Structure 1
């Protein structure tokens, strides 16, 4: 069986005030081409279909158009679950009607996880959809006071599945959460924390009894300890912390014994999200930006020292989609940055105090030339009758 594992579409996402809907539609068109070319038997969307509980109209239209073509025209079976960004009630609306068309959308978590059974020439494959649920809700569903956090909630859900799953067949789990293995997972700024003041982590060992685990929530494509337990990653880069990530879709080929072969397939975004760094005049030099897509979403880190007038306006003339600008922080080579004027500051002149402050903030020497300029300003202010 060929399974296309995706997740974290975040349709309707705003990044630094910019609607990403056009970029998402461009990627979904490529995804449709991939579906036509690869002909998977099933596609998984492992949560965070939308970016917010009440998505904008444009986002709903984009998703409706994609799902309609995939299911009605290409007869693709789709299994999608709600993530922590989704409204479980809205995502799950009319799910029973859609099921007959091959579209299985699970919004609210239920006490009994009924598997979706899809057969191929080797027999049945059981898909267990576990939509995102807050631990307090899961504690109420199971009437189990031992459920305190995401870890204990998932442990209870998985143990019930394992106790009731058929001995034969192949078994795939679909979940949305922060699963941890032997190594720390790579996270992104655009991932909303699942828990404030409590643990959001789930141990990977609970999932080890499945033939494949399709995870959502983390935006970088990555495995969790085992090759068959994976995050597909997000559809697009949604923060500059993801600038160096390579986004992809995960194609899973499962044989009759449940063994899987993994292939990651990259898609090309309409506009990339990247970071550029250097002095303002260099970043605006045609020799520097030649051969790059200047319409990408840009974060610029400026290494200039001193004041710069309208830096973002100047950069926008070259990079129309610049979203963020930062100044590089220079540290003193001599060690820790001083926050006071040192010893005997009361005995020092204002010019001396200013000189120490300047060197601490700028990491540059307060030269005689600069000293003369500041002294001239101070003298002019004194002549105007301003007390220093």
Structure 2
């Protein structure tokens, strides 16, 4: 059985005041192309289908279009769970009707996890659909006051599944959360924290009885503890902390014993996210901006030493999708101290030149020094004239 594992679509997301729906439509059309090419027996969506609980109309329409093509046109079952960004109740609406068409969506946590069984030439493959639920919700559903953390919650859920699970069959977990392996996971700024203080973390050992665990929540494609516990990552970059990440989907092949192969298919966005750094004149040089896609989403870090006149407008004239602009801080060395004795022994021009070098790590240009000397001379002369009158 071939399975495509994806997640964290965040349809309807707004990044730095830019609506991403058109970009998401572009990438989801590319995803559809991969689905048609790979011809899987199932598609997994591991949560955060929408970016917020009440999704905008265009986001709902886009999801409807994509799922209709996968399930109705191509006849491929889709198994999806709610993430922490989704509304469990809204996502769960109509699930009883939809499953008759091959669309299995689990939005609300139940004490007995939903199990969907699909068959291949080797027999049944069992998919357990486990939507995201906070520990407080799990405590209430399981009526267990001892559940205090996500680890406690997941342990209780897995133990109940395990009590009825045939471990000789191939079992796949689909869930959404922060699963930690032996290595520190790669996180992103666009991931909404599940809790504070580390109580959101779940140990990967809890999933040892599953031949594959399809995870959502972390936006970087990565494994969690072992090869068969994986995040597919988000479809697109949603913050500048993700600029170095490759985005795509996991292709999993299951044989009679379990996972035989896992491959990663990369997705290429309509507009990438990039960080550019340098002086304004350099960044607006045609030789620089024509070397890459000018339509990309840009964070610009300017290193100019002097004052800049309307730098955002000048950047947008060549990079129309500049999202963020930062000016490198050259005044972060702390306070500049000058004793009264030192100040009396030096001229105003010398004092200013020293301060300029301290702030900018470079000498005041001779031309600028000449202009400043004239200004100081003129100001002092006006002061003398005022005293004489």
TM-score normalised by length of structure 1? 0.91
Aligned pairs for 1:17-28 (under 5 A) are 17-28=17-28
Structure 1 residues 377 and 38, CA gap change in structure 2 (3 angstroms): same
Q: Which has the larger radius of gyration?
A: 2
For 1:272, the equivalent position in structure 2 comes to 272
* Counterpart position of 1:134: 134
2:2 counterpart of 1:2: yes
Structure 1 segment 313-328 matched on structure 2, within 5 A: 313-328=313-328
Q: CA deviation at 1:217?
A: 0.5
How many Å apart are 1:134 and its aligned residue?
1.1
Provide the alpha-carbon RMSD of the alignment: 2.3
CA–CA distance in structure 2, aligned partners of residues 136 and 71 of structure 1: 34
Q: Which residue of 2 aligns with 1:308?
A: 308
Distance 2:259 2:31 in 1: 25
Distance 1:208 1:117 in 2: 20
| Aligned match of 1:147 | 147
**Could you say what secondary structure the match of 1:115 adopts?**
strand
Which whole-Å CA distance do the structure 1 matches of 2:280 and 2:35 have between them? 44
The question of 1:54 aligning with 2:54 is answered yes
222-231 or 277-286, which deviates more? 277-286
Q: Is 2:81 the counterpart of 1:81?
A: yes
Equivalent residue in structure 2 for 1:363, among 342, 361, 364? 361
Unaligned runs of 5+ in 2: 384-389
Indicate conservation of the 8 Å contact 2:181/2:203, yes or no: yes
How many residues matched?
A: 380
Q: Distance in 2 between matches of 1:361 and 1:219?
A: 39
CA distance 1:384–1:97, shift in 2 (3 Å) = farther
Aligned to 2:387: none
User: How far off its partner does 1:176 sit?
Assistant: 0.7
Distance 1:360 1:134 in 2: 52
Assess if the C-alpha contact under 8 Å between 1:341 and 1:353 holds in 2.
Answer: no
Alignment of 1:102-181 (within 5 A): 102-181=102-181
**d(CA) in 1 for partners of 2:372 and 2:199?**
54
Determine if contact 1:151/1:201 at 8 Å carries over to the other structure.
yes
Cα deviation, residue 199, structure 1: 2.1
Structure 1 residue 364: Cα displacement: 3.4
SS at match of 2:140: helix
- Preserved CA contact (<8 Å) 1:221 1:231: yes
Distance, in Å, in 2 between the alignment partners of 1:102 and 1:50 is 20
Displacement, 1:341? 3.2
Which digits, 9 at most, give the CA deviation of each residue in 1:189-226, with x for residues without a partner?
Answer: 11111113552211111112210010000111111121
In structure 1, the residue corresponding to 2:158 is in which secondary structure? helix
Q: Alpha-carbon deviations, 1:130-159, whole Å to 9, x = none?
A: 111111111111121221121221121112
- The superposition leaves residues 215-248 of structure 1 with CA deviations (integer Å, 9 ceiling, x where unpaired) of 0001111111211110001011111111111101
**Counterpart position of 2:335:** 340
Equivalent-residue separation in structure 2 for 1:346 and 1:117 (angstroms)? 86
Q: Specify the alignment match of 1:254 in structure 2.
A: 254
Whole-angstrom distance in 1 between the partners of 2:199 and 2:371? 56
The C-alpha deviation readout for 1:95-130, integer Å capped at 9, x for no partner, is 111011110111111111131111111111111111
> Structure 1 unaligned runs (5+)?
332-336
Q: Residues 283-341 of structure 1, C-alpha deviation per residue, up to 9 Å, x if partnerless?
A: 2222222342111111112222111111111111111111111123448xxxxx64233
Mapped contact 2:167–2:209 kept (Cα < 8 A): no
Paired with 1:264 and 1:66, the residues of 2 have a C-alpha distance of 21
State the distance in 2 between where 1:79 and 1:380 align.
Answer: 78
Who is 1:284 aligned against?
284
Shift of 1:373: 5.2
